[in-house]
Amino acid sequence: MALINQNISTSQIPKIVKWIAIFIFAFILFSWLNPFVVINAGHRGVKTNFGKVDPTVLEEGLHFRVPIMQQIREINVQIQKAEADGDAASRDLQQVHTKIALNFHLIPGRVAETYQTVGDLDSVGDRIIVPAVQEAFKSTTARYTAEELISKRPEVRDQISQFMKDRLLRHGIQIDEFSIVNFRFSESFNQAIEAKTTAEQLKLKAERDLERIKVEAEQKIASAKAEAESLRLQKQEITPDLLKLREVENQRLALEKWNGQLPQVTGGSVPMINLRTN
């Protein structure tokens, strides 16, 4: 009995293999001939008819295609990030290095045009954006000196950003955010900037000290003038009557302090006091 079952199982193997092969072939054929295509969220579909790009862009959702004749390429239109290094020379021939970061996305309504002109959109960062960044950086930095690149950084940023927008818009790419991460210069230029900054700080300190000295001198002059004016006014107020009044006051004070005894020291003039009574 076991021998019979073994013979039956061995004879069925070719049939099983055949059905597996048929199933695989049917699955592949169905996948190839599948007339339905789903475009996922954040994507758009580009349809080609025997390789020719159809300008109509497929939105998200379920779409019908003619098997064999039409192929659908799903394109990502979500925001993506790209970074690029830039090396250039400023207007005063200083070497400048920078890193530029940006967020971008493919314009959904133009993905068919972009796919037709650019091709593989998975490498759009390396093929389109990085060269555009380098060209924009070189073109912009050539208009400014190294110091202006620092002092006018927002203006430089806007110049590079506008150049990038104009350049990438031609390929159906839109910039969402743009930033210059950093400017780096040669070591000699950094030392020159540091020396200039130190000199400006010392100059500013000297100017502040000079201003302080001037203010203090003016205060002393004003104080001396006020004192002189006070003495002048006091001098004008001294009259003969005032002197006579002061003399009488001095005599009165002397009488109040006199104890009635004459000085014991002879010689010199003795003040005469009229003690006669009527």
pLDDT in tens, 211-257: 878 888 788 787 777 777 666 666 655 566 666 666 767 776 766 66
pLDDT at 4: 45
Q: Look at the domain 80-185 and name its fold.
A: Tetrahydropterin Synthase; Chain A (3.30.479)
CA distance 36 to 247: 130
What number is the average pLDDT over the span 193-218?
Answer: 72
- Tell me what the pLDDT averaged over the chain comes to: 77
Model pTM score: 0.56
What pLDDT digit, counting tens, does each position of 69-116 carry?
888 899 999 999 888 888 888 888 888 888 888 899 999 999 999 998
Query: Quick check: 268 pLDDT over 70?
Result: no
Q: Please answer whether residues 150 and 196 qualify as being in contact, where contact means their C-beta atoms are separated by less than 8 angstroms.
A: no
Whether 8 has a pLDDT exceeding 50, the answer reads: no
For 23-68, write each residue's pLDDT tens digit.
676 666 556 667 888 999 999 999 999 889 999 999 999 988 888 8
Contact (CB, 8 A) for 39 and 59: yes
- Cite the residue boundaries of each domain of the chain with CATH code 3.30.479.30: 80-185
Query: How far apart are the C-alpha atoms of 77 and 107, rounded to whole Å?
Result: 7
